Chains A and B, each alone.
Chain A
Amino acid sequence: MKRAKDWMPGLLLTAPSLVALAIFVYGFIGWNFRISLTNWKALSPDYSFIGLQNYRDLLVDERFKIDIKNSLIFTVVFMVACLLLGLLLAILLDQKLKFEGLFRSVYLLPMAISFIVTGVVWRWLMNPATDDRISGINLLFTKIGLDSLVNQWHLTPNWGMAGIALPAVWQMAGYTMALFLAGIRSIPEEIREAGRVDGASEWRIYRHVILPQLRPIALSAIVILGHISLKVFDLIIAIAGKQLALDVPAIYMWQTSFDAYNFGKGATLATYILFSVAIVIIPYLIFTMRQERNS
Chain B
Amino acid sequence: MKLRKSKLFGAIAIAASIALTATGCSSGGGSNASGQVEVFSWWTGGGEEAGLNALVEVFKQEYPDVEFVNAAVAGGAGTNARAVLATRLQAGEAPDSFQGHAGAELFDYITAGQLEDLSSLYDEEGWRKVMPATLLPLITVDGKIYSVPVNIHRANVMWANPKVLADNGISKPGSWDEFFAAADKLKAKGITPLALGEQWTQLHLFETVLLGVLGTDAYNGLWNGTTGWNSVEAKGALDTFKRVLTYTNSDAASLSWQDASKLVIDGKAAFNIMGDWAEGYFRVDNSLVEQEGYTWAPAPGTAGTFQFLSDSFTLPVGAKNRDAAIAWLKVAGSAAGQDAFNVKKGSIPARNDADKAIYPPYLQSAMDDWGSNKIAGSLTHGVTASNAWKAEIDTALGLFLQNKDVAKFQAALATAATSAGK
Considering the chains assembled together, what is the distance between the CA atoms of A153 and B174 in angstroms? Answer: 37
| Nearest Cβ on chain A to B415's Cβ, whole angstroms | 12
**Known contacts A258-B82, A259-B391; is-contact A155 B249 (Cβ 8 Å):** no
Q: Does A43 count as interface, using CB distance less than 8 angstroms? A: yes
**A252 closest partner in B (C-beta):** B395
Q: Does B254 count as interface, using CB distance less than 8 angstroms? A: yes
Considering the chains assembled together, what is the distance between the CA atoms of A45 and B190 in angstroms? Answer: 54
Contact B190 A132 (CB under 8 A): yes
Contact B108 A43 (CB under 8 A): yes
Which interface class (under 10, 10 to 19, 20 to 34, 35 or more) fits A?
A: 35 or more
Q: Does B418 count as interface, using CB distance less than 8 angstroms? A: no
Contact B388 A262 (CB under 8 A): yes
Which interface class (under 10, 10 to 19, 20 to 34, 35 or more) fits B?
A: 35 or more
| Nearest Cβ on chain A to B17's Cβ, whole angstroms | 35
**A247 closest partner in B (C-beta):** B398
Q: Does B83 count as interface, using CB distance less than 8 angstroms? A: yes
**B391 closest partner in A (C-beta):** A260
Additional pairs, 6, CB under 8 Å, beyond known A63-B395, A132-B190, A241-B200: A45-B90, A240-B198, A254-B83, A256-B391, A257-B83, A258-B83
| Nearest Cβ on chain B to A129's Cβ, whole angstroms | 4
Considering the chains assembled together, what is the distance between the CA atoms of A42 and B111 in angstroms? Answer: 9
Q: Does A245 count as interface, using CB distance less than 8 angstroms? A: yes
Interface hits, A111-132 → B, CB 8 Å:
123, 126-132
Contact B251 A243 (CB under 8 A): no
Interface hits, A256-292 → B, CB 8 Å:
256-262
Contact B79 A254 (CB under 8 A): yes
Considering the chains assembled together, what is the distance between the CA atoms of A130 and B391 in angstroms? Answer: 32
Considering the chains assembled together, what is the distance between the CA atoms of A202 and B263 in angstroms? Answer: 54
Count of chain A to chain B residue pairs whose CB atoms are closer than 8 Å in the complex: 102
| Nearest Cβ on chain A to B257's Cβ, whole angstroms | 11
List the B side residues contacting A259 at CB < 8 Å: 78, 82, 387, 390-391, 394
List the A side residues contacting B78 at CB < 8 Å: 241-242, 259
Looking at the complex, which one of B108, B250, B253, B268 makes contact with A245 (CB distance below 8 Å)? B253
Contact A44 B113 (CB under 8 A): yes
List the B side residues contacting A66 at CB < 8 Å: 402
Contact A261 B108 (CB under 8 A): yes
Contact A240 B254 (CB under 8 A): yes
Looking at the complex, which one of B86, B200, B402 makes contact with A258 (CB distance below 8 Å)? B86
**A133 closest partner in B (C-beta):** B268
**Known contacts A259-B387, A261-B387; is-contact A242 B199 (Cβ 8 Å):** yes
List the B side residues contacting A62 at CB < 8 Å: 399
Contact B108 A42 (CB under 8 A): yes
Q: Does A229 count as interface, using CB distance less than 8 angstroms? A: no
Considering the chains assembled together, what is the distance between the CA atoms of A237 and B89 in angstroms? Answer: 24
| Nearest Cβ on chain A to B255's Cβ, whole angstroms | 8
Q: Does B109 count as interface, using CB distance less than 8 angstroms? A: yes
Q: Does B392 count as interface, using CB distance less than 8 angstroms? A: yes
Contact A123 B113 (CB under 8 A): no
**B412 closest partner in A (C-beta):** A62
List the interface of chain A (C-beta within 8 A of B): 41-45, 62-63, 66, 123, 126-133, 154-155, 237, 240-245, 247, 254-262
List the B side residues contacting A258 at CB < 8 Å: 79, 82-83, 86-87
Contact B399 A244 (CB under 8 A): yes
8 contacts between A and B (CB under 8 A): A41-B388, A43-B112, A130-B250, A155-B250, A243-B199, A244-B199, A244-B398, A258-B87
| Nearest Cβ on chain A to B1's Cβ, whole angstroms | 18
List the B side residues contacting A237 at CB < 8 Å: 79
List the A side residues contacting B99 at CB < 8 Å: none
Q: Does B216 count as interface, using CB distance less than 8 angstroms? A: no
**A157 closest partner in B (C-beta):** B402
List the B side residues contacting A123 at CB < 8 Å: 254
Contact B391 A243 (CB under 8 A): no
| Nearest Cβ on chain B to A156's Cβ, whole angstroms | 11
Q: Does B384 count as interface, using CB distance less than 8 angstroms? A: no
**Known contacts A127-B251, A259-B82, A260-B387; is-contact A243 B401 (Cβ 8 Å):** yes
List the A side residues contacting B89 at CB < 8 Å: 43
Considering the chains assembled together, what is the distance between the CA atoms of A244 and B403 in angstroms? Answer: 11
| Nearest Cβ on chain A to B223's Cβ, whole angstroms | 17
**B263 closest partner in A (C-beta):** A133
List the B side residues contacting A242 at CB < 8 Å: 78-79, 199-200
- Nearest 7 Cβ contacts at the A-B interface: A244-B398, A260-B391, A43-B112, A258-B83, A44-B112, A129-B251, A241-B198
* B87, B111, B399, most chain A CB atoms within 10 A: B399
**Known contacts A43-B89, A259-B78; is-contact A245 B83 (Cβ 8 Å):** no
List the B side residues contacting A155 at CB < 8 Å: 250-251, 253-254
| Nearest Cβ on chain A to B106's Cβ, whole angstroms | 11
| Nearest Cβ on chain B to A43's Cβ, whole angstroms | 4
Q: Does B114 count as interface, using CB distance less than 8 angstroms? A: yes
* B251, B268, B391, B401, most chain A CB atoms within 10 A: B251
Interface hits, B166-223 → A, CB 8 Å:
190, 198-200
Looking at the complex, which one of B253, B390, B392, B395 makes contact with A240 (CB distance below 8 Å)? B253
Contact B388 A154 (CB under 8 A): no
| Nearest Cβ on chain A to B173's Cβ, whole angstroms | 23
Contact A129 B109 (CB under 8 A): no
| Nearest Cβ on chain A to B221's Cβ, whole angstroms | 23
| Nearest Cβ on chain B to A201's Cβ, whole angstroms | 46
List the A side residues contacting B90 at CB < 8 Å: 43, 45
Considering the chains assembled together, what is the distance between the CA atoms of A240 and B398 in angstroms? Answer: 13
